[in-house]
Chain A
Amino acid sequence: MAGEIWSIGELRDGELKRPSLEALTKARALADATGRKAALVLVGQDLEATGKEAAAYGADLLYLVEHGELAAYRTEPHAKALGDLASERKPEAVLLPATSQGKDLAPRLAARLRTGLATDCTDVETDASGTLTFTRPIYAGKALEKVRIPDARPQMATLRPKVFPVGSPDASRQPEVVRVTPEVAAGAVGTTVRETVQTSAGRIELTEADFIVSGGRGLKDAENFALLEELADTLGAAVGASRAAVDSGWRDHQDQVGQTGKTVTPSLYIACGISGAIQHLAGMSSAKCIVAINKDPEAPIFKVADYGIVGDLFEVVPALKSALLEAKS
């Protein structure tokens, strides 16, 4: 019986996050290409309804790994439960979204299974037998590498969010449901979640945003970011920052885009007063469309921008906001 292609789902507030649907869509495509079955694996509690709805995106099998101790994500018990299931069912491949949870879980699971893992992949191809070739950025995207896992099984990968498409759901899909109730000793887990504090103040988070307005040294101080926030509000965008802006104390570390900040893949990235240092480009150069606003016509950002505006951002940004509002009405 050919090994299955698994995608591990990640839940937030009882719903499957979009990157999990991206991974499931990919698992479906790989399963179709190799004559295998695709499975959605969920770990937590009371998963049936959510699982069946998500399975419409391509699961032949739905594994529900349920236990009270697994309701909130913690690395060790989730890695153990998935490891035990994988050792028993021997999937050919296990895909996870490269979200903060997936990036935390996958290496631990791979170590447990003594298998290979390709992280933050931007493409996955297969041959007829199911040997996968993973494409992943290295050096913050300055280069790409293609990786294979020739012998170890399952082949594991985390997929970069917002890169892989989500297929159309097929509500008529009836997956085979496999219920697993693992043993989880309550005292055996070394970590306890005390609380979760929202930090994004109602704005969408950078790695999940389709539109980003970002500011750099050209903003000159923290208060001026209000201009960008107004533009962002008009677009429903997140607000990012270059390292210069963060190191100057104008914006929080969580807002930094770049090699030592976040890698973002929005549809639109508007860079204001950002020169385009190599480390910043590393974080945003895979945006679909880049607009650059900078006083300096020689700024490197203009080499990667689709649309460049050479001008004073203190004039251009408010004018752009007005033009957008005009276009909306």
Chain B
Amino acid sequence: MNIVVCVKHVPDTEAAIKPLPDGSGVATEGLNYVLNPYDEFAVEEAVKIKEAGGDTQVTVITVGPDGATKSLRTAIAMGADEAVHLNDPVFLETDAQGTAVILAAAIQTLPFDLILCGKQAVDDDCAQVGPALAELLGIPSVSVVTQLELEGDGKKATVHRELEGATEVLECTLPAVLTTQKGLNEPRYPALPMIMKAKRKEIRTLDASALGLSPDAFAPRTETVEVSSPPPRQGGRILEGDVAEVVREAVRLLKEEAKLL
């Protein structure tokens, strides 16, 4: 079975995020970049399937700048076999839909039975690439997957998908794109020998011309006109007194001031 995992190199969630002074984007200088947390579930699931037996190859792929090789190597250290880096300055100027076009062009040149990716990237929070990629490849997609079981013949999967207050159980023919959600598995911490080995792994790098893509094909359809900080919450007050007084005051405030009760 050939599994392709799409990943993204993103600032870690500890980062304090500030807009650039001119509002044209976020200040990314000095931020620590890591493998997108939701993509960790995708990589882990692919590696688990590989470890379950059968002849499975896991290829991890990303659209990203030079530094994105760090996240590709994290995925390899977790157990991915091959890595493809779609690296071209022009790729960085597009949006989520454009990224899906680029990935589709690359993935079409690879054998694939299953495509996994995180449900969203924790930087832009777009949550678009997975389903858009499936549409471009003409295959089914299921988003926000919390459980995955492959049928013996590798042609179908039973998936659990998260809805509001419910779980939907679906059967899906393969190949398909599944976007992964927390709860699908527990991503492993790569062992040191794997990390060392991943450092030496050769990564295949492709640019727009290698993919035969003209910039028009993946031009962004959305444009960001401004990035700003959200309005800060007004500081509130600390209620003083013994427990009985404090809770009575809280209830009074919720009723009379906040008008919520």
Residues on A close to B: CB < 8 A? 75-76, 79, 99-101, 103-108, 110-112, 114-120, 133, 136-152, 189-200, 204-205, 207-208, 211, 252-254, 256, 259-261, 267-268, 278-279, 282, 285, 288-291, 297, 302-311, 315-316, 319-320, 322-324, 326-327
Contact = CB atoms under 8 A, between A and B. Distances in A.
A323 B127 contact: no
A307 B236 contact: yes
A143 B228 contact: yes
B239 A196 contact: no
B222 to A, nearest CB: 4
A151 B172 CA distance: 35
B97 interface: yes
Given A119-B125, A120-B125, A279-B13, A327 B251 contact: yes
Contacts of A75: 131, 140-143
B213 to A, nearest CB: 15
Given A107-B132, A268-B254, 16 more contacts: A103-B127, A107-B129, A108-B131, A110-B128, A111-B100, A120-B127, A138-B125, A143-B26, A149-B221, A191-B170, A303-B235, A306-B234, A308-B237, A308-B239, A320-B247, A324-B251
B51 interface: no
Which of A211, A278, A319 is the most central at the interface, judged by chain B CB atoms within 10 Å of its CB? Answer: A319
A309 B162 contact: no
B261 interface: yes
Nearest to B143: A104
B17 interface: yes
A197 B246 contact: no
B166 to A, nearest CB: 5
Contacts of A148: 222-223, 225
A137 B230 contact: yes
Nearest to B98: A116
Contact of A190 (B11, B19, B172): B172
Given A253-B183, A290-B236, A323 B260 contact: no
Contact of B131 (A111, A192, A211, A285): A111
Tell me if A's interface is mostly helix, strand, loop or mixed: mixed
B221 A278 contact: no
Q: List the 10 shortest-distance A-B pairs measured between CB atoms, nearest first.
A: A116-B221, A190-B140, A205-B165, A200-B165, A253-B183, A111-B132, A107-B128, A111-B135, A306-B236, A142-B17
A196 B170 CA distance: 9
Which of A106, A112, A190 is the most central at the interface, judged by chain B CB atoms within 10 Å of its CB? Answer: A190
19 contacts: A99-B164, A100-B143, A107-B131, A114-B221, A117-B96, A119-B125, A139-B122, A143-B18, A143-B19, A143-B228, A190-B173, A191-B142, A192-B172, A197-B167, A254-B183, A256-B182, A289-B260, A324-B251, A327-B255
A192 B223 CA distance: 36
B243 interface: yes
A17 to B, nearest CB: 9
Contacts of A194: 158, 169-171
Contact of B251 (A111, A147, A261, A323): A323
Contacts of A253: 146, 181-183
Given A75-B141, A190-B176, A195 B123 contact: no
A194 B18 CA distance: 45
